[in-house]
Amino acid sequence: MKVRNPVPKKNRHRFIVLVSICAALLLAQIFSDGKGPFQLIGNFTIIPMQKGLSYFGSWIWDITENLKTLKEVKAENEELKAEVEKLNADNLKLREEQYELQRLRDLYKLDEYYADYEKIGARVIANSGSNWFSDFTINKGSNDGIKVNMNVMAGTGLVGIVVEVGPDYARVRSIIDDASNVSGLILSTSDTCIVRGDLNLMSDGRIRFEKLANNDNLIVPGDEVVTSHVSSRFLQGLFIGYISEIHVDSNNLTRSGYITPAVDFSKIQEVLVITLTKEASLQERTAEQEAAQSQSTTNNSGSGTTDTGSDNTDSDNTTNANTNSDTASDTNNAEDADTGGADTGGEDDLIGAQTEGEEEVTP
């Protein structure tokens, strides 16, 4: 026997109450960032369950993996041995080049750009339960030193950026998400472009790049794309992927195309979080420059030795000017052609560019 509510109006009142709670929460978020107490509640209720399930899942996966036939493993072993030999030879050659590179880097003082970033390993414990977004939860949070805007990698490739941190978990938005914008750099020609996630490409695991200047530099499929010096949120020189398709836009001024990312986004299990944020690295650099400048000014009384010092600061300043103008043009581009979901990224970059400019102009 179904029990009907004797007063249907009562239901409507309840509904209105619930809806106004939701509306209040939505409105509250305009004025405040983050989800307040829910992060803490979730940390002790949902996250442990997700962690448990994910460990259980990987345990099952390991068992099925172990059942691979011996034959397969043997064949793979042969293959790998051959590869090791080949890699050993390659390695030797590379090491020789490494020494040369080190010497040249010392000459150009480029060391800091390619510094080995410190990383924390983390496990992916849950995906977003939606088909519209591409983000996931990892099992490390602020207790392990994770902060918002830290870059996340898997193996050698860039995966995404931390957008939300709880005590024992963090949410990562991957670079194939529709709302994601990364400033990229073509390694072979040093041209900058914008790497943008797209919902339609999410399922293929491809990403789009756009706003690459249509200049004389020849760029072909297979060229590597890394994060550029312009970005305000991504560290310089993180590997994004290879260009798979490139064409000139109908405006004849820019080129765009697709990138095959270095990471297989459908099978991410372990990730590495870089503990240095771009903001922190920029601050470090300005501090260093200030120190260098004050040193050179104190040394200025002499004549012979100061020459090199002033030279150094001069060149530093010019590179700064370059990066500043780059950011400016970059944000202009982003604003001009902004029609799609690029809004958030463009704005972020704009804010970044401003702060960057402020930071870098002061010394």
Q: Please, where are the H alpha helices in 32-172?
A: 37-44, 46-66, 70-108
HEC letters along 148-209 = CCCEEEECCEEEEEEEEECCCCEEEEECCCCCCEEEEEECCCCCEEEEECCHHHHCCCCEEE
* Cα gap 125→128, rounded to integer Å: 10
Nearer to another protein, 207 or 225 (CB): 207
* Cα gap 126→123, rounded to integer Å: 9
In the bound complex, what is the minimum distance in angstroms from residue 315's beta carbon to another protein? 42
Question: Which residues contact residue 114 at a Cβ distance below 8 angstroms, ignoring those fewer than 6 apart?
Answer: 105, 237
* Cα gap 133→341, rounded to integer Å: 12
Nearest Cα to Cα of residue 157 among 232, 231, 224, 203: 224
- Is residue 145 within 8 A of residue 120, CB to CB? The reply is yes
Nearer to another protein, 29 or 298 (CB): 29
Nearer to another protein, 24 or 80 (CB): 24
Nearer to another protein, 25 or 115 (CB): 25
In the bound complex, what is the minimum distance in angstroms from residue 87's beta carbon to another protein? 32
In the bound complex, what is the minimum distance in angstroms from residue 348's beta carbon to another protein? 14
Q: Which two tokens stand for residue 258?
A: 């697709």
Tell me the C-alpha to C-alpha distance, in Å, between residue 209 and each of 36, 194, 253, 348: 35, 5, 14, 18
- Is residue 140 within 8 A of residue 271, CB to CB? The reply is no
In the bound complex, what is the minimum distance in angstroms from residue 136's beta carbon to another protein? 9
In the bound complex, what is the minimum distance in angstroms from residue 345's beta carbon to another protein? 11
Supply the angle between the helices 343-361 and 278-299 in degrees, to the nearest 10.
20
In the bound complex, what is the minimum distance in angstroms from residue 2's beta carbon to another protein? 7
- Is residue 227 within 8 A of residue 330, CB to CB? The reply is no
In the bound complex, what is the minimum distance in angstroms from residue 270's beta carbon to another protein? 16
In the bound complex, what is the minimum distance in angstroms from residue 125's beta carbon to another protein? 8
Nearest Cα to Cα of residue 263 among 160, 150, 191: 160
Nearer to another protein, 134 or 228 (CB): 134
Name the site residues for another protein (rule: CB under 8 A).
1-2, 4-5, 11, 14-15, 18-19, 21-26, 29, 35, 38-39, 41-42, 46-47, 49-50, 53-54, 57, 125-133, 135, 137, 163-164, 171, 173, 178, 199-200, 202-203, 266, 339-341, 343
In the bound complex, what is the minimum distance in angstroms from residue 10's beta carbon to another protein? 8
* Cα gap 165→172, rounded to integer Å: 9
Nearer to another protein, 88 or 131 (CB): 131
